[in-house]
């Protein structure tokens, strides 16, 4: 790791340190004919079961302009289960909402369900879906982030009440 430069005005701009730069210089390996981003020997954590698995446990996801495929964030085993759950949830889901059930901003929506069940939770945008998922996909995880952002418990409750009344400035 580079030593941290506290004075950002003097921090040198490293060429290729942008996200795009990293992708250009990144490693690839081949799975048969398929070129995959990353290192074949790297272990990868499944975002669903949290096991650390080899690359081969993950299906290809998106083909990037650099010719490399990304892998799904959840392992093949979990993907099979989640796909089956979603298929059932989709059949019984209410019609799509006008906008995201969480942020009420975005209109491009994905189906959200409680993992491990076939219970529909809502129609949410991909940002909210990914964000909530990253925080653990549960109330505890989301509240943990709230406690991190605001140490004063009464302020958290005050904000929560504002959100419930629909007057919060978020």
Give the interface with Zn ion as residue ranges (CB under 5 A): 46, 48-49, 75, 78, 100, 102-103, 106, 125, 128
Q: For the chain, how many residues are written?
A: 170
- Distance of alpha carbon 49 from alpha carbon 124, whole angstroms: 22
Q: Pick the closer one to Zn ion by CB: 49 or 142.
A: 49
To Zn ion, the closest distance from the beta carbon of 58 in angstroms equals 9
Q: Which of 102, 56, 91, 101 is nearest to 75 (CA)?
A: 56
Please list, residue by residue across 56-90, b when 16 or more beta carbons sit within 10 angstroms of its beta carbon and e when fewer do. Answer: ebbeeeeeeeeebbebbbbbeebbeebeebbeebe
Do residues 21 and 29 touch, judged by C-beta distance below 8 A? no
Q: Provide, rounded to whole angstroms, the least separation between the CB of residue 114 and Zn ion.
A: 17
Please, what is the minimum distance in Å from the beta carbon of residue 127 to Zn ion?
A: 5
Select 106 or 118, whichever has its Cβ closest to Zn ion: 106
Report, in Å, the least distance between residue 144 CB and Zn ion: 20
Nearer to Zn ion, 89 or 100 (CB): 100
CB atoms within 10 A of CB 20: 10
Dist CA 157 CA 146 (whole Å): 10
Nearer to Zn ion, 86 or 128 (CB): 128
- Cβ 91 vs Cβ 80: under 8 Å: no
Question: From the CB of 39, what's the least distance to Zn ion, in Å?
Answer: 20
* CB closer to Zn ion, 36 vs 125: 125
């Amino acid at each position: 790791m580079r030593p941290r430069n506290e004075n950002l005005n003097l921090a040198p701009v490293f060429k290729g340190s942008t996200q795009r730069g990293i992708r250009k210089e990144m490693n690839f390996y081949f799975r048969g004919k398929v070129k995959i981003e990353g290192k074949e020997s790297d272990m990868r954590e499944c975002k669903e079961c949290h096991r650390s698995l080899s690359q081969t446990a993950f299906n290809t996801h998106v083909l990037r302009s650099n010719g490399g495929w990304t892998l799904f964030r959840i392992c093949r085993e979990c993907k099979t289960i989640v796909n089956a759950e979603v298929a059932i949830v989709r059949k019984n889901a209410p019609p799509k909402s006008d906008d995201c059930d969480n942020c009420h901003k975005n209109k491009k929506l994905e189906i959200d369900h409680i993992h491990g069940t076939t219970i529909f939770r809502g129609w949410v945008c991909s940002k909210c879906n990914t964000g909530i998922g990253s925080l653990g996909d549960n109330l505890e995880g989301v509240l943990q982030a709230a406690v991190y952002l605001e140490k004063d418990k009464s302020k958290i409750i005050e904000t929560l009440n504002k959100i419930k009344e629909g007057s919060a400035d978020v």
